[in-house]
Amino acid sequence: MEKPVNIALLSLCNGHVFRGVESFATYFTRYFNKINNSSTILLQGGRLSQEDDPDCVKNLDVHTEDLSGDESFMGKLTTKLGLHKIDFDVKRFYEKAVKTISDLDGINFVFPSNQKPLYLKKLFRKYNINNCIVIGVGHARVPKDLNQYDAFVALNPPDFNIIKNARIPVELIPNGIDFNMFDLVDKEKADDFKNKIEEQYGVMPRPIIIIVSALVPPKRVHLGINVLKFMNQGTILICGSGPLRNKLREHAADIMGNDKLKKVIFIDAMAYENMPFVYRLSDVFLHPAHKGEAFGNVIIEALASGLPVVVNNDSTRAYMVKNYSYLCDVTDSNYVAKKITKFYNEKDKLSLISKAIARQYDWTLITERYHRFLSGINF
């Protein structure tokens, strides 16, 4: 008989912000609970949304700061001193989470999305929890930290190659998306969303190139803005927030000059349910992030929306997009501009290719892979 797989997924920032980590926690919980002989409960730090199922999501009411970036004097000082407010928040959150787990029956796996597995295990001993396996998910760049977990899931081949000979069970499983959410978009709602954006920002010259990203240095959003220098016309639509926003606005103003056929538009990070409408505004998706990025769910979301994508030519992005024409040196703005123009002219044909790639990342398939891996681990 197949062993039951019952997971507690701990995410302090769910209910406070919604980025890749929070998307993983929310949708993993939703889809894993559909698998027979398994269950997941999401213990999160913030409020429940209207879409959350109170039977499988619990708010532990632990306040935390918005983690999109802090360049204030105090932020720099506390980082230099090694004092991170998030450390205190995580410890308070884990205390509440482990106490909740101790009151639940049958939990045998714990996913701590805020890391600190040794502190988590210390709390297990405090509450006499002896049967929980701690699973790490994400970057595996530091092998010595690996043994703090009982098993580990890498999101990309470079990370997996680092850990494949580890003494603990390890697996390569990419992140997932809700494919239908981005593929089957209500046309009337999408048109209403487009009209509101155009009322606020005016008509956007085509092609419309979308960048969905936190505005922080590793994402290299300035490289995307640079592309406009080598195009006759077009719009860079940047959806995201972060500490580099003002610097990027200044850079965009220098690139645009007085040319009315070139625009750079900044819109704040959207509620996740509105993201399919954001992608529908666009012709081509551009993701100039550094090769060190562990995955990049926004790439798969764009593919599911039928967009051709231009991403950095590195081993992780090659693993993700499969179609090698989507890869390029994103630091070569002139070449990127030519590729975007080509993709814009071929976007209807490329839409089918993009969606075929994205279907492989549907959460139904990804959670089944997790289930096979976890059910094979000996307690």
pLDDT digits (tens, 9 = 90+) for 159-216: 899 888 888 999 999 999 999 999 988 899 999 999 999 999 998 999 999 999 989 9
The residue with tokens 């954001």 is 278
* Inter-residue contact 347 to 308 (CB < 8 Å): yes
The least confident of 13-22, 70-79, 149-158 is 70-79
What pLDDT, on a 0 to 100 scale, did the predictor assign at position 226?
97
Q: What percent of the chain lies above the pLDDT cut of 90?
A: 61
Distances (CA, A) of 11 to 103, 139, 210: 18, 16, 29
Distances (CA, A) of 73 to 67, 179, 215: 16, 42, 19
Dist CA 212 CA 127 (whole Å): 42
What pLDDT, on a 0 to 100 scale, did the predictor assign at position 142?
55
Q: Please state whether the peptide bond connecting residue 243 to the residue before it is cis, i.e. omega within 30 degrees of 0.
A: no
Within 10 angstroms of residue 196's Cβ, the number of other Cβ atoms is 11
What pLDDT, on a 0 to 100 scale, did the predictor assign at position 323?
78
Domains parsed from the chain with CATH numbers: 5-176+362-375 (3.40.50.2000), 179-359 (3.40.50.2000)
CB hemisphere CA count around 345 (13 angstroms): 5
What integer is the mean pLDDT of 227-246? Answer: 94
Beta strands in the chain (DSSP E): 5-11, 38-44, 57-59, 109-112, 133-138, 151-154, 170-172, 208-212, 234-239, 262-267, 284-287, 309-312, 327-328
What pLDDT, on a 0 to 100 scale, did the predictor assign at position 24?
87
User: Residue 83's pLDDT band (boundaries 50, 70, 90)?
Assistant: very low
DSSP assignment, residue 177? B
What pLDDT, on a 0 to 100 scale, did the predictor assign at position 150?
92
Over the stretch 253-275, which tens digit does the pLDDT of each residue have?
A: 999 988 989 999 999 878 888 99
State the amino acid at position 339 in one-letter form: K
What pLDDT, on a 0 to 100 scale, did the predictor assign at position 17?
67
Over the stretch 213-226, which tens digit does the pLDDT of each residue have?
A: 989 999 999 999 99
DSSP letters of 183-217? Answer: HS--HHHHHHHHHHHHHHH-PPPSSEEEEE--SSG
What pLDDT, on a 0 to 100 scale, did the predictor assign at position 81?
42
What integer is the mean pLDDT of 61-89? Answer: 50
User: Residue 75's pLDDT band (boundaries 50, 70, 90)?
Assistant: very low
What integer is the mean pLDDT of 80-96? Answer: 69
CB hemisphere CA count around 261 (13 angstroms): 7
What pLDDT, on a 0 to 100 scale, did the predictor assign at position 79?
43
Dist CA 75 CA 90 (whole Å): 17
Over the stretch 320-356, which tens digit does the pLDDT of each residue have?
A: 998 779 999 999 999 999 999 999 999 999 999 999 9
What pLDDT, on a 0 to 100 scale, did the predictor assign at position 310?
97
As a whole number, the mean pLDDT across the chain is 87
Please check the confidence at residue 13 and state whether its pLDDT lies above 90: no
What pLDDT, on a 0 to 100 scale, did the predictor assign at position 294?
83
Residues facing residue 38 across a β-bridge:
5
Please check the confidence at residue 316 and state whether its pLDDT lies above 70: yes
More confident residue, 27 or 51: 27
Please check the confidence at residue 77 and state whether its pLDDT lies above 50: no
